Amino acid sequence: MYTVLARKYRSQTFDDVIGQDPIAQTLKNAIKTGRVAHAYLFTGTRGIGKTTMARILAKSLNCLAVDAPTYEPCCKCESCTAVNLGDDIDVIEIDGASNNRVDEIRELRENAIYRPARSRFKIYIIDEVHMLTTSAFNALLKTLEEPPSHIKFIFATTEPNKVIATIQSRCQRFDFNSIRPGDIAEQLRSILKQEKIKFEDDLILPLAKMANGSMRDGLSLLDRLISTGVQPLTADLLQQYLGCPDSEKVYNLIAQVGDSNAAETLAAAEDLISTGLSEVQIVDAMIDYMRDLMVAKSAGSDSELLILTAEQRKRASELAEKFDTAALVYNITTLEKMRWSIKTTDTPRALLEALLLRFALSEHFMNVDDLLSQSQGKGGAPIKKKPAPESVSPKPQPSEPTPTKAQIKTDEASASSISTGRLSADNQEPNNEEQTPNHEPRPQSNSQRKNEILDDPAVKTVILGLDATITGIEED
Ligand SMILES: [Zn+2]
């Protein structure tokens, strides 16, 4: 029979525990020095090792291989093996979600007065303790106030704020961290090797990221991949079976946005939608990727904050060059705000496409306030964001030809860019395109053609409408 990986590879000792080292260390010290509290409260999101830690503590207190509590339980004696299976006679696991009535807690209290059957302590592990009813809490509190010395409580909860203060104050509390993707990745690799399952390494990081800080989720995703029976396990498989977006396609979409290619941006979005992804999944993937670009841009592509392979770091760093930091910040916050709208609208695709065009063509958008003041005859910023050649005169620096960036980083764009999404954080880059000294007529560039299209009043109306939509949402 197939044992799910999360059970098969559950940590057995304090030294095995992944991603919760300070807590494991503190509990080890407490056992070493004989200062074990009589009640603990373990908090944190699901799948990060609260129950595992509770069982290790229970084994340590009750291991029959030694005469006193030990921080290195044998994991072989009757007590240790029964605790591992969750059915030890003296270590009672209670699910607060299904045993939340006061009667059950009263029963617990009545049983608690009896000595443990074969071990040193009677240990109650109550999971999701916040689910207990108020009267059950009160009954429990009575036991906590005058606990017999042979009783230990270990409470676990995902919602510590719902655990009443009088219980909290009687417990030693440990807040468990989400597990870092790097730690999850390492464990996934190690398990695949032990299971002798062939895999390609570029599968591991995206899988670890999908686990969202939960080792259990990471392992259950891996279970699902293994159950396909396909080997070796690859990143393609991840996309096919677990709906993880094709990173190559997400990269392409963002590259097209960065290059201000309207048509190509829409085509890249279609490419993602045709793989079966929903609009919300695309927004999520974009937020994730833009976050990587933002980090690469501001903390460097070798930052530990990036969970990327060497190759991915290099590409992220190159792609980040197409944006400035403020634009990435704007894009991420706007995507996050629009996520809800896209989820609830009847026309998610249109909204997604409009948003993508908004990003791709951002330097052509004008501030709604400017538009209003223009329509009221008060002047305001010009509709055209691209400066006229004579209007900009930074010193030419022909040694740095950066035509793509020049499109983005013009002084004028930054002057009126609060709502454009292409804020220029630094304006040192000269705009070579506009500065050609001899003003020779040049062939019409893509961006000039695009300007002509965007000058069409009908197109402007649509774009400004979208701008107002986003601005409206921002005010919420
Ligand atoms: Zn033992």
- Give the CATH number of the domain where residue 202 resides: 1.10.8.60
Encode pLDDT of 413-457 as tens digits: 443 443 444 444 444 444 444 444 455 555 566 667 666 666 666
| 207 CA from centroid of ligand 1 (Å) | 35
pLDDT band for position 374 (cuts 50, 70, 90): low
At 95 the pLDDT is 87
What distance in angstroms lies between residue 72's CA and the mean position of ligand 1's atoms?
A: 9
- Ligand 1 centroid to Cα of residue 16, in Å, is 16
Q: Measure the CA–CA gap between 129 and 95, rounded to whole angstroms.
A: 8
pLDDT, average across residues 327-336: 92
Q: Among 318, 337, 360, where does a domain finish? A: 360
Distance 158 CA to ligand 1 centre (A): 29
Distance 119 CA to ligand 1 centre (A): 10
Give pLDDT, residue 424: 41
Mean pLDDT, range 305-331, rounded to an integer: 89
Q: How close is the Cα of 74 to the center of ligand 1, in Å? A: 4
Q: Are residues 301 and 426 in the same domain?
A: no
**64 C-alpha to ligand 1 centroid (Å):** 5
Over residues 119-143, mean pLDDT: 87
CATH of residue 342's domain is: 1.20.272.10
328 and 226 within one domain: no
CATH number of residue 88's parent domain = 3.40.50.300
Work out the widest C-alpha separation in the chain, in whole angstroms.
97
Out of 242, 257, 277, a domain closes at 242
Residue scoring higher pLDDT (328 or 442)? 328
What b/e readout covers 422-454, taking b as 16+ CB neighbours within 10 angstroms? Answer: bbbeebebbbbbbbeeeeeeeeeeebeebbeeb
How many domains does the chain divide into?
A: 4
Domain span at 380: 362-437+445-475
Distance between Cα 67 and ligand 1 center (Å) = 11
Last-in-domain residue among 213, 242, 271: 242
Cα 21 to middle of ligand 1, angstroms: 22
Ligand 1 center from residue 149 Cα (angstroms): 21
Q: How far is the CA of 108 from the centre of ligand 1 (A)?
A: 25
What is the pLDDT confidence band of residue 309, given thresholds at 50, 70 and 90? confident
Together in a domain, 170 and 33: yes
Burial (0-12, 13-18, 19+ Cβ within 10 Å), 204: buried
- What values do phi and psi take at 283, rounded to 5? -60, -45
- Please tell me the distance between residue 191's alpha carbon and the centre of ligand 1 in angstroms: 25
pLDDT of amino acid 372:
61
Q: Are residues 19 and 34 in the same domain?
A: yes
Res 93 pLDDT > 80: yes
| Those residues with Cβ within 8 angstroms of residue 132's Cβ, 6 or more apart along the chain or in another chain | 96, 100, 105, 126, 140
Q: Based on the domain organization, do 56 and 133 belong to the same domain?
A: yes
Cis peptide leading into residue 441 (ω within 30°)? no
Q: Are 323 and 427 in a shared domain?
A: no
Q: Write down the pLDDT at residue 96.
A: 84
Instruction: Please write the tens of the pLDDT for every residue from 147-179.
Output: 888 999 999 999 999 998 888 999 999 999 999
Distance 112 CA to ligand 1 centre (A): 23
| Identity of residue 60 | S
Q: How far is the CA of 38 from the centre of ligand 1 (A)?
A: 20
Same domain as 190, residue 275: no
Model-wide pTM > 0.75: no
Say yes or no: 317 and 377 in one domain: no
Query: Are residue 58 and residue 162 in the same domain, yes or no?
Result: yes
* Co-location of 352 and 374 in the same domain: no
From the CA of 33, how far away is ligand 1's center (Å)? Answer: 19
Distance in Å, CA 152 to ligand 1 centroid:
18
Tell me, yes or no, whether 155 and 70 share the same domain.
Answer: yes
Q: CA-to-CA distance for 114 and 116, rounded, in angstroms?
A: 6
Q: Compute the half-sphere exposure of residue 468: CA atoms within 13 Å on the CB side of its CA.
A: 11
H or E element in which residue 411 lies: helix 411-415
Ligand 1 centroid – CA 63 distance (Å) = 4
Distance of alpha carbon 133 from alpha carbon 373, whole angstroms? 59
pLDDT at 457: 61
So what's the pLDDT on residue 475? 42
In this structure, the answer to whether residues 81 and 185 fall within a common structural domain is: no
Q: How many angstroms separate the alpha carbon of residue 114 from the centre of ligand 1? A: 22
Give, as one character, the DSSP assignment of residue 270: H
